[in-house]
Amino acid sequence: MPPVISQPPYSGGPDVRGSDLRMEKDGFSKGPFGGPGADGTAGQIVVVRVGKAEFAVAMKHVVKVLLPAAGDIRMVGGSETVSFENRTIPLVDLASLLTVPEAGSSAPERTTAVILEYTKRLLALKVDGPAEEQEATVQPMGSQIRRLRYFSGAIISKTGRVVPVLHVGDLFTYSPKATSGK
């Protein structure tokens, strides 16, 4: 079994999975007055790196972050998979899925796999950099890009960069690899 980097909560933040908080689109909870900025939703997110790009995902959907050894990643039916809790989980290369241009130019020393759960299905995202938890306010997409597949909003990272937030439902809907988490 691959080593586990960590599991929610990563750095002592609240674990919003299964809580009494009212959950909004993609797992972010709003404050009692609509959350900070009234437009946005606040919550714990996980930021991952793919090439030089960063992407965020709601912590609610993150089950574990793994550093699988080369032998833990296997080809099954022509697709990469990773072993997790005695299950074979499809491994989706986020760089390929999103066609990130600078990804792959310098291969990471070791693959990071972020195991996601959505509607009782599991999917592992193959990313270049380790996941980092932070609290953020998610701002909705502008009207011109609101309907972009795979994205539900954006945050400002700790480093001041605008980071797109992944729409986990879209990752599962448009990736034929998602499996049952039973």
The alpha carbon of residue 123 and the mean position of all alpha carbons in its chain are separated, in whole angstroms, by: 10
Q: How many CA atoms lie within 13 A of 49 on its CB side?
A: 15
What pLDDT, in 10s, does the model give residues 64-99?
999 988 788 999 988 899 998 889 999 999 999 998
Q: Quick one: pLDDT at residue 10?
A: 34
pLDDT at site 124: 95
The pLDDT score that the predictor gives to residue 42 is 74
Please write the tens of the pLDDT for every residue from 27-46.
Answer: 443 333 222 322 466 788 99
- CA torsion angle for 37, 38, 40, 45 (degrees, to 10)? 70
Residue 105 is predicted with a pLDDT of: 53
The residue with greater pLDDT, 182 or 31, is 182
Instruction: Report whether pLDDT(182) > 70.
Output: no
- Answer whether residue 7 shows pLDDT above 80: no
Amino acid in position 103:
A
In angstroms, the Cα distances linking 180 to 43, 67, 89, 116, 150 are: 26, 22, 9, 12, 20
Residue 92 is encoded by which pair of tokens? 């989706």
Q: Any idea where the domains of the chain sit in the sequence? A: 4-175
How would you classify residue 117: left for phi > 0, otherwise alpha for psi between -120 and 50, otherwise beta? beta
Annotate 15-72 with DSSP letters as a single string: --TT-SSPB-GGGPBP-TTSSTTTTSEEEEEEEEEETTEEEEEEGGGEEEEE---GGG
CA distance 42 to 24: 10
Token output for 38: 């009234």
122-163 residue pLDDT tens: 999 999 987 788 888 888 877 777 678 898 889 988 888 899
Q: Are 45 and 155 a contacting pair, CB within 8 Å?
A: yes
Task: Provide the pLDDT for residue 37.
Answer: 29
CA distance 20 to 32: 13
| 4-175 classified as CATH 3.20.20.60 | no
Q: Which of 35, 29, 57, 30 is nearest to 118 (CA)?
A: 57
